[in-house]
Chain A
Amino acid sequence: MKTKDLTTMAILTALAFALSWVERLIPLEMIIPLPGVKLGLANTVTLFALYRLSLPAALLILTARCLLSALFSGNMTGLAFSLAGGLLSMLVMAAAKRSRHLSVYGVSVLGAAGHNCGQILTAMLLMHSAYIWGYLPYLLLIGTACGAATGAVSAGVLRALGGRARSAA
């Protein structure tokens, strides 16, 4: 691994961690009382890594961010949720990105949907209950709105930074 790649990934991990931390200050669940509702700002970093670096790099950044968040919050149940959601989301986004008919907006929305499904699956496993899927449609609706918003942010960031992250030697 080149030192430059390592540094870029370290910076992106720090940024993703900071964003997921800042996000807690926005009390979205006070307005929409569903467990697990959040903006998903850190997903802009994941999208950036997926578009400008590579899938393995994006996976490493995501895993490191989830572990850091769990360490700092001491919430190990949360780790299962964020990892399951994050990994399923990554899988969906990597597949969706291959489609020529989808831009970063669609990739982000489908990624959010993947994240919601991962969270619900984890909850069903943890609670030994299939009943929880009743939350899924509501999470999907909110996730679509948040996914489109983070998609717009990502499009802006990717456009502003152009090909620099990759081409600068």
Chain B
Amino acid sequence: MKKEHDGLTFQRGDAVAIAAVVTAALVMIALLLIPSGGNGRVIARIYQDGEVIRELRLEENTEITVEGAYRNTISVRDGKIAFTHSDCPGEDCVHSGWISAPGRSAVCLPNRVEIRLEGEADTDDVDAVVQ
């Protein structure tokens, strides 16, 4: 006897839907993890409203503040960068924690500020010159 479809019982189609979403997510993560080349040095670009407002090297410890609708404090420490303080509601940016790998980013949506870690291109960069 075929069971009537009441729309409330877990079906095989549901498993397919879940598998499809999870697979899509995993493929995206794999794409994000592929290194984009460069010389391995990571540069942090700070964007506000989609424009670069600062560039920071992760080799030097520093601390900057970004003003906007709110005030963010961004710190670089031991090769990592993070929003260390913010007066925005929720403080999701501070909870994002420290990041250091190229391709990672941290955002403060209320202040429209984004930290992006990008690999530094090595095309126009000379390591050493020997004569």
Contact = CB atoms under 8 A, between A and B. Distances in A.
Interface of A: 29-30, 33-36, 51, 75, 77, 96-97, 99-106, 109-110, 113, 123, 126-129, 131-138, 140-141, 143-144, 148, 155, 158-159
Interface string B79-123: 000000000011011011100000111010110101010000000
A110 B14 CA distance: 9
B8 A137 contact: no
Contacts of A133: 28
20 contacts: A33-B97, A35-B90, A35-B93, A100-B5, A101-B16, A102-B11, A103-B7, A104-B8, A106-B13, A106-B14, A106-B16, A106-B17, A106-B18, A109-B21, A128-B51, A131-B116, A132-B107, A134-B105, A137-B24, A138-B29
Contact of B114 (A34, A99, A110, A132): A132
Interface string B1-21: 000011111111110111001
Given A132-B107, A148-B18, 12 more contacts: A29-B90, A30-B95, A33-B96, A35-B90, A77-B110, A96-B17, A103-B7, A109-B18, A126-B112, A127-B47, A131-B114, A135-B107
Nearest to B32: A134
Given A33-B92, A126-B112, A127-B50, A103 B10 contact: yes
Contacts of A127: 47, 49-50, 107, 109, 112, 114
B92 A34 contact: yes
B26 interface: yes
Contacts of A137: 24-26, 28-29, 32
B80 to A, nearest CB: 14
Nearest to A108: B14
B49 A35 contact: no
B13 A101 contact: yes
A77 B89 CA distance: 11
A123 B9 CA distance: 35
A110 B11 contact: no
A123 B49 contact: no
A35 B51 CA distance: 21
Contacts of B5: 100
Nearest to A73: B89
A138 B105 CA distance: 13
A141 B24 CA distance: 9
B7 A140 contact: no
Contacts of B28: 133, 136-137, 140
